Chain A
Amino acid sequence: MMTFIATLLGATLRVSTPILLAAIGETYSERSGVLNLGIEGTMLFGAFTGFYFAEISGSLWFGLFAAVVSGMLFGLLMALLTVTFGLNQHVSGLGITLLCEGLAFFFFRLLYGGAHTPPSIEPFEQIKLFADNPILGPIFGQYLLTYLTFLVIIPLMWWILYKTRFGLHIRAAGENPEAVDAAGVNVFGIRYASIIIGGGFMAAGGAFLSLCALGSFTHGMVNGRGWVALAIVIFGNWNPVKAMWGALIFGGAEALQLRLQAMGLQLPVPYETFLALPYVLTIIALVLAGRNASYPAALLKPYKRE
């Protein structure tokens, strides 16, 4: 039983990593006042670029780097559409998701079209900490990227948001851009920076899927994780640390489903129930969190100087 729980915990951390990365990206974007629905597509494109550049360069880290850059580019596009042009954020974001999906599959087909078996690479290896211990082993045997996410990125991004000048500007831009502008800070610049950073994290989340979990690029590999990240941002009240708890709840539900399926138990309900469960839980969490959710006051509102 202890082993089961340990394995479950380990899997939870693994499953929640990509969602958490994307959720941090979305948090930054929304904190500055822009809802980025390009999240799902950016993740997918990140997964693709990560895979492709890792494959051609032979370096997984270079793949990850390329993915982050690609995500930042789509962040730049999103910023151009919503910040400079002031277009509808829902439509712009969905358009970017569609564009990313099209581009990722287009290039994948173009580059690997002929192959009968899907191409694959050797993914990142898990760090073997306490490998001999049946309890600690499964928990701490994680990818470096998971460690980085939970131990470095989350605290760092929290710190930047709440304890630096830049973070102060981001939060203020999402609450009252007029005030930020009046204070002589460039609202557009702040929003551009937040969305671009956000795009980088979204793509990193996608690259985690292809470079750590799968070692390949497949259709439907992101499979709505971007949308879950979106919900987790609200659930976490736009705070990176609180978003972590949301991501863990989601990851836990999915990990449980994977474990149960792997154990081959004959269940009275179809296994899809467990797959769908995290989504249902997220909706319930949204309903519960919804009442005291404090949306950034300027979210969805393009800033225009009169």
Chain B
Amino acid sequence: MNIVEMKGIKKQFGSLIASDHVNFNLREGEVHALLGENGAGKTTLMRILYGLYKQDEGEVFVAGKPVTINSPKDAIENGIGMVTQHFALVPPMTVAENVVLGYMDGFRLKTAEIEKKVGEAAKEFGIDIDPSALVMHLSVGQRQRVEILKALYRNAKVLILDEPTAVLIPQEVEALFKTLRDLCSRGLAVIFISHKLHEVMEITNRVTVLRDGKCIGTVNTQEKSQAELASMMVGRESFGVKRVEDLSDREKEPILQVDAISALNEKGLSALNKISLEVYCGEILGVAGVGGNGQRELSEALCGVKDLTEGKIVVDGVNVTGLNPAQFTKHGIGRVPEDRHEGMVGDLTVAENLALEYLNDYTKMGRMDRKAMVADAEKLIKQFMIKAKPNDRTCNLSGGNMQKVLLARVLSKNPKVVIVPQPTRGLDVGATDYVREQLLAQKKAGAGVLMISEDLDEVLALSDRIAVLYEGEIVGVLNANEATPESLGLLMSGVRKELV
């Protein structure tokens, strides 16, 4: 029996059709994958089901009856719960308070009583969590459990999980899958949004594939191979950049030397613990790892926006430790930010953003040379094929074009070292290929590239050597030819290199 049925769902944002008459149905007790690339319309469809968006056309049925879901509240009343990538939790409050938030009777907040009730519910659903703990003290995996508990506590019959494993280490993924299997055996239905094929193969019963907002089809997982699903997902047999094998002679001295650096995260806790890395000219060093293991702090430290508590960073023989970001640039470090919006000022124009790091070059006796700025911007726009005009506001650009602006800003100055965290996150296939080609071109031109990525396929496809970051430490460095997804997976889950 179909517990949820969505028929002919259409949703349009401006000129973009995010969901193009999609049909979707969900059976009781199944794990149903919603598979597709970034921007395929998976999240849009589920946001409609959860009442966060309103569809332009189409109908939703729950347990056979047509329903109108205008808000998450309606969704909850219809037994639908959703766990998004960005947890909807209030960090300074307890687990119990978060669970009952928006779902409790009476006026008073009886702390002891709700903690007891939430504790009992957790036990019943087999979720291990302390109801009186403050959420801000919990790990990512624990927070996810709180989110799931929250949905179950509201009598959810349908659980939507939006890329639940993106933030988890393999062991936590296993625990999550076990919980999901338990829950499904009691009749719960799970919608599992993902673009990770092996997980889809492992956990789901059926798969609905979306591409460019259209429904490609719904299949039984067992009847398809990973490759078949992949081709449904991308619409072609293979994708990505072809590796060009050129093991050019490596210079003796590394161009970038990271020597036992440590740093704290925003909350003042240790995030990096004595990390040492070396990058040589003409290579790409990939830093792999599950998100939240210090990637952000590492990239910030290497970009000069994070203070180190110890250790030093040496570029081409010059110690740049403690210098400011402007001096990092001056010493030949090309820095691309992890979050595009944190590297560019959306309200400024493309030309202004392109010049932002090099304002002194455009200063003539205290005046700013706008003409030169716009002229240079036009050159870069052409060279990097950015779809924009110099005087366009940057915030109106697409993600891919923004990333191109950032790359253009950095690469046009021929840096000795390029730092690129998450270079293709959130980009479409075309932009991804473009960015990867640019990185390979940099490597060929003799720069040392340090790429931090949570996308294992990307790390494997581009890197010459791969370092794995786990809980703020480098747990192993492998040559690309000896690295396999399995060996990297072990390292990423915290097993030391010696044990591999």
Show the binding face of A for B, using Cβ within 8 Å: 162-169, 171-172, 175-176, 178-185, 294, 297, 305-306
Contact = CB atoms under 8 A, between A and B. Distances in A.
Contacts of B90: 171-172, 175-176, 179-180
B108 A182 contact: no
Given A163-B109, A165-B107, A184-B71, A179 B92 contact: no
Interface of B: 52-53, 71-73, 75-76, 82, 84, 86-93, 97-98, 100-104, 106-109, 111, 150
The interface residues of chain A, by DSSP majority, are classed as helix
Contact of A178 (B88, B106, B111): B88
A292 to B, nearest CB: 12
Contacts of A294: 92
Contact of B106 (A165, A182, A184): A165
A229 to B, nearest CB: 23
Contacts of B72: 181-184
Given A179-B101, A182-B84, A164 B71 contact: no
A172 to B, nearest CB: 5
24 contacts: A163-B108, A166-B107, A167-B109, A168-B97, A168-B101, A169-B101, A172-B90, A175-B93, A176-B88, A179-B87, A179-B90, A180-B90, A182-B72, A182-B82, A183-B102, A183-B103, A184-B71, A184-B72, A184-B75, A185-B101, A297-B91, A305-B52, A306-B52, A306-B53
Nearest to B150: A183
Contacts of B98: 179
Given A168-B100, A175-B90, A184-B72, 19 more contacts: A162-B109, A163-B111, A164-B108, A165-B106, A165-B108, A166-B107, A168-B101, A168-B109, A175-B91, A175-B92, A178-B86, A179-B98, A179-B101, A181-B88, A183-B88, A183-B103, A185-B101, A185-B102, A294-B92
B121 to A, nearest CB: 16
A169 B100 CA distance: 10
B160 to A, nearest CB: 11
Contacts of A164: 107-109
Nearest to A183: B102
Contacts of B106: 165
Contacts of A175: 90-93
Contacts of A171: 90, 92-93
Contacts of A166: 107
A86 B102 CA distance: 23
B88 to A, nearest CB: 4
A185 B104 CA distance: 11
A167 B107 CA distance: 9
A286 B127 CA distance: 43
B329 to A, nearest CB: 31
Contacts of B76: 184
Contacts of B101: 168-169, 172, 179-180, 183, 185
A31 to B, nearest CB: 11
A184 B93 contact: no
Contacts of B84: 182
Contact of B103 (A167, A172, A178, A184): A184
A172 B93 contact: yes
Contacts of A184: 71-73, 75-76, 102-103
Q: 10 closest pairs, A vs B, by CB?
A: A183-B102, A184-B73, A179-B88, A182-B88, A185-B102, A172-B90, A183-B101, A176-B90, A175-B90, A184-B102
A164 B98 CA distance: 14
A179 B93 CA distance: 12
A306 B97 CA distance: 26
A182 B160 CA distance: 13
A287 B59 CA distance: 57
A179 B103 CA distance: 13
B267 to A, nearest CB: 12
B89 A179 contact: yes
Contacts of B150: 183
A132 B219 CA distance: 90
Contact of A165 (B53, B88, B92, B109): B109
Contacts of B111: 163
A239 to B, nearest CB: 12
Contacts of B82: 182
B55 to A, nearest CB: 14
Contacts of A178: 86, 88
B52 A180 contact: no
Given A183-B72, A184-B76, A305-B52, A176 B103 contact: no
Contacts of A167: 109
B147 to A, nearest CB: 9
A164 B100 CA distance: 12
A27 B87 CA distance: 26
Nearest to A173: B90
A291 B89 CA distance: 25
A27 to B, nearest CB: 15
A164 B101 CA distance: 11
A223 to B, nearest CB: 35
A304 to B, nearest CB: 12
Contacts of A165: 104, 106-109
Contacts of B100: 168
A167 to B, nearest CB: 7
Contacts of A185: 73, 101-102
A76 to B, nearest CB: 23
Contacts of A168: 93, 97, 100-101, 109
A180 B90 CA distance: 8
Contacts of B71: 184
Nearest to A176: B90
Contacts of A179: 87-90, 98, 101
Residue of A172, A184, A294 with most partner-chain B CB within 10 A: A184
Nearest to A294: B92
Contacts of A182: 52, 72, 82, 84, 88
Nearest to B92: A175
A298 to B, nearest CB: 10
A165 B91 CA distance: 17
Residue of B91, B98, B101 with most partner-chain A CB within 10 A: B101
A179 B101 CA distance: 9
Contacts of B93: 168, 171-172, 175
Nearest to A172: B90
Nearest to B77: A184
B334 to A, nearest CB: 33
A168 B87 CA distance: 18
B161 to A, nearest CB: 14
Contacts of A176: 88-91
A183 B89 CA distance: 9
A164 B150 CA distance: 19
A305 B88 CA distance: 14
A185 B98 CA distance: 12
Contacts of A169: 101-102
A184 B92 CA distance: 20
A296 to B, nearest CB: 9
